[in-house]
Amino acid sequence: MKRKIFGILFALVLVLSLSLLMAVPAMAQPADVWVDDDYCNGCGNDGHTWGYDAFDSIQAGVNAVDSGGTVHVAEGTYDEAMTIPAGLTGLQLLGAQAGIDARGAMGGDGWYQGRDVVDESIIDAQGNKIVSNAGGMTMDGFTIQNVGRIEITDDNNTIRNNIIIGKPESGHNHVIWPLTPTNNFVVERNWIKDTDMSGVHLAFGADGLEIVNNLFTDMGYSAVILGADPPLLGNYINTLISGNQIKRTGCQAINIDGLSETGLTIEDNIIESAGLDFPISSGRGAIRLYNDIPYENVLIRGNELRYSLTGITVRKGVVDWADVVIENNYIGYNDIGILVEEGAGNFGSDYTVRFNAIVCNTECGLQNNSSEEFNAVDNWWGCWDGPSTVGPGSGQNISDDVSYEPWLTTNPIPTIPTDCYECPTQAVGGKDYPVNKVGLIAPWIALAVVIAAGGVYLVRCRAHN
């Protein structure tokens, strides 16, 4: 009898134990995981649980975290190239310098100097590619070096505050390269450098693209390419390229191509030493609107374009330009300031090139190689009496087939010296005052304030030889 009762009790205990075991839920995927190259099985791991929310590789952390979660990566070096799966929507991938501008401090020459590589989360991709197939991903605060490329295949992604170093001599290294049409893609406050090809290349179209406040240095080809030559599939809508500094590109710094461009703004960029690996006839320089494609609602404004093969190269499209404005740009010390190339169609009349300072370009200020007259009225050519060669004045020379009257008689960008010509005297308040040549090496002896009828005038003076 006792044996029977014991058997019944044992069965009851076994059933109860199994029920309790089955009632314990499986551990949910963590919303936050921590990665440190010093973490290990059996280590303290800053109080985190090894294999659950503590890992020594970024890929392991990515594999463990829940959608919408965050992978916190400590300083250290991680020899890997991650793949973010498609289902991991909203991932925040945060390095040790998350939130810290990768451009670093501003130098005395007006250029950002780049963030010091100290206390960084360094991803050494060893020539391989990093792939994100997820939407809504943010990558913030890393140094990424020896990267084949960063591939993006979904929408709503952001790459910010990273030092990104390409793989020199790789043969075809576009550092950031979306491989599908991309919507709402943001690239901001990065320092992208040392690649044999381009910094950011979108070949398949985009809507809502923002490339803003980045530093690009030593690009073997371009800093930014939209489309390709010849154009691949894709239209570009509502694109903003703004506040970037670009120095030393083998080809054009910003190349605009594709099947069509609608709602494009290129403003407040500083571009220097672009296109120097090509002959002047190629038109590869600071900004290039290339190929016979429709351009509509395009604004190129407030850029400083200097010491490059060309400042701006434009090409006639298959349809008339629609609301294209090029204004308030400093275009100086290039081989050619603005180069106009022949295309398949016409410019039409719905475009404006105005209020620019086009000065000190060694070959030509505006070279029109097309069969259509190019309208460039209300620009500053370096002298109050207008452009030279074809024009009647003493300022920047221009080619035939350029409409230049009326021109500006004063510099529209007073913060940047643009006078590098021996200009004749100009009557001010009933008196003649010399407007002399002021180049980069001209000695200044004063800024004289001349009070005359109608207002206050500033006259630059230099020492006489």
Mean pLDDT, range 47-53, rounded to an integer: 97
Bigger pLDDT: 281 vs 179? 179
**pLDDT number for residue 431:** 40
Residues in Cβ contact with 373 at an 8 Å cutoff, skipping those fewer than 6 apart:
401, 402, 403
Task: State the average pLDDT over residues 185-193.
Answer: 97
Higher pLDDT, 8 or 308: 308
**Average pLDDT over all residues of the chain:** 84
Q: Over pLDDT 90: what percentage of the chain?
A: 64
Beta-strand pair 431-433/426-428: antiparallel
Distance of CA 302 to the CA centre of its chain: 15
pLDDT of residue 157: 97
Report the predicted TM-score, pTM, of the whole model to 2 decimal places: 0.86
pLDDT higher than threshold 90 for residue 449: no
Structure confidence at residue 227 as a pLDDT band (50, 70, 90): confident
C-alpha span between 97 and 217 (Å, rounded): 20
pLDDT band at 166 (very low <50, low <70, confident <90, very high): confident
- Residue 457 scores a pLDDT above 50: no
Q: Provide mean pLDDT across the span 166-177.
A: 72
HEC states along 345-359?
Answer: CCCCCEEEEECCEEE
Domain boundaries, the chain: 28-172, 198-418, 425-465
pLDDT band for position 192 (cuts 50, 70, 90):
very high
> Which pLDDT band, with edges at 50, 70 and 90, does 444 fall under?
very low
Q: How much is the pLDDT for 358?
A: 96
267-286 mean pLDDT: 87
Rounded Cα distance between 427 and 57, Å, is: 72
CA 265 to chain centre: 12
Cα–Cα distance list, 391 to 377, 380, 381 (Å): 12, 13, 10
At 316, is the pLDDT very low, low, confident or very high (cuts 50, 70, 90)? Answer: confident
The better pLDDT of the pair 323, 211 is held by: 211
Read out DSSP for 373-413?
-EE--S-B-SSTT--EETSSSSS-EE-SSEE--S--SS-S-
At 210, the pLDDT band (50, 70, 90 cuts) reads: very high
- Among 42-56, 188-202, 239-253, 314-328, where is mean pLDDT lowest? 314-328
Q: Which of 1-15, 168-182, 243-257 has the highest mean pLDDT?
A: 243-257
pLDDT in tens, 112-155: 999 998 999 999 999 899 999 999 999 999 999 999 899 999 99
Kindly indicate the confidence band of residue 430, based on its pLDDT and cuts at 50, 70 and 90. very low
Q: Are 374 and 340 in contact (CB under 8 A)?
A: yes
- Among 19-28, 114-123, 301-310, the range scoring the smallest mean pLDDT is 19-28
> Contact 382/419 with Cβ under 8 angstroms?
yes
Q: What is the average pLDDT across 68-74?
A: 98
